[in-house]
Amino acid sequence: MTRLLLLGLKKRGFGKGKKNGFGGKVERGETIEQAARRELKEEANITANFLEKRGIIYFKFEEDPVIMDVHLYVTSDFTGQVTETDEMKPEWYDIDSIPYDQMWPDDRIWNPWLFAGKSFVVRFDFKADQETITGYKYKFVPWGEMSQMRDSYNAFALLQE
Ligand SMILES: COc1nc(N)nc2c1ncn2[C@H]1C[C@H](O)[C@@H](COP(=O)(O)OP(=O)(O)OP(=O)(O)O)O1
């Protein structure tokens, strides 16, 4: 059976020129999941009927004290027609032909976990060039426990164990 993943070519902002999933910053008054839904609608013009949380990814760039946390949701249940928007040019890819050379380098590591059905918490350390991964540590999260990791603190503590 062919399994497809929707990626978008980022047309502006952080990660411009890279292919990635759909997402962005949480706005005031929103939950993280609400932000994920809003970004999917804004960037691919589709509405998720159901979102499953599958990961929390931390990014630390050398010389930058701020650690970015990205909360990863997947859906195969959505309404609407996938459409190019101002921010993203969407395209479907067979999961056996993911264009990793046009993506953030961390995707090559965690996308296969996603396709294998795993949930996970992972931290990537990057050089300041934002292209070179100097190390990463991760933990798989048992089925059903990911949705209870509501904030970054729980997940970060898991990585420190
Ligand atoms: C550093 O490595 C990254 N890898 C991957 N796979 N994804 C990343 C990486 N860094 C950021 N992202 C994701 C997180 C978001 O889904 C997007 C965009 O991030 P950001 O919120 O910083 O970008 P903006 O376009 O400025 O957001 P707004 O839509 O809120 O303006 O990339």
d(CA 156, CA 138): 10
**Would the ipTM clear 0.85, i.e. be above it?**
yes
Q: Is the CB of 107 under 6 A from ligand 1?
A: yes
Question: What's the pLDDT at 150?
Answer: 66
pLDDT band for position 20 (cuts 50, 70, 90)? very high
Sheet of 119-126: strands edge to edge?
67-74, 52-61, 119-126, 133-141
pLDDT at position 5 over 80:
yes
To test the ligand 1 pocket, which listed residue (14, 27, 133) has its Cβ within 8 A of the most ligand atoms?
14
pLDDT digits (tens, 9 = 90+) for 94-145: 999 999 999 999 999 999 999 999 999 999 999 999 999 999 999 999 988 8
Q: Is the CB of 105 under 6 A from ligand 1?
A: no
Question: Ligand 1 atom closest to Cα of 10?
Answer: 25
| 121 CB-contact burial (10 Å; exposed 0-12 / middle 13-18 / buried 19+) | buried
Residue 57 neighbours by CB distance under 10 Å: 22
pLDDT at position 148 over 90:
no
Question: Ligand 1 atom closest to Cα of 104?
Answer: 4
Torsions phi, psi of 48, nearest 5? Answer: -75, 130
pLDDT digits (tens, 9 = 90+) for 33-91: 999 999 999 999 999 999 999 999 999 999 999 999 999 999 999 999 999 999 999 99
Question: What's the pLDDT at 159?
Answer: 85
Nearest CA to ligand 1 atom 21: 24
pLDDT band for position 25 (cuts 50, 70, 90)? very high
Identity at 56, one-letter amino acid code: I
Q: Is the CB of 43 under 6 A from ligand 1?
A: no
pTM of the model: 0.94
Identity at 103, one-letter amino acid code: M
Residue 45 neighbours by CB distance under 10 Å: 15
Residue 92: name the closest of 1, 15, 19 by CA.
19
d(CA 10, CA 92): 14
pLDDT band for position 151 (cuts 50, 70, 90)? low
Mean pLDDT on 4-29: 97
Q: Point out which residues pair with 58 in neighbouring strands.
A: 69, 123
Question: Ligand 1 atom closest to Cα of 70?
Answer: 14
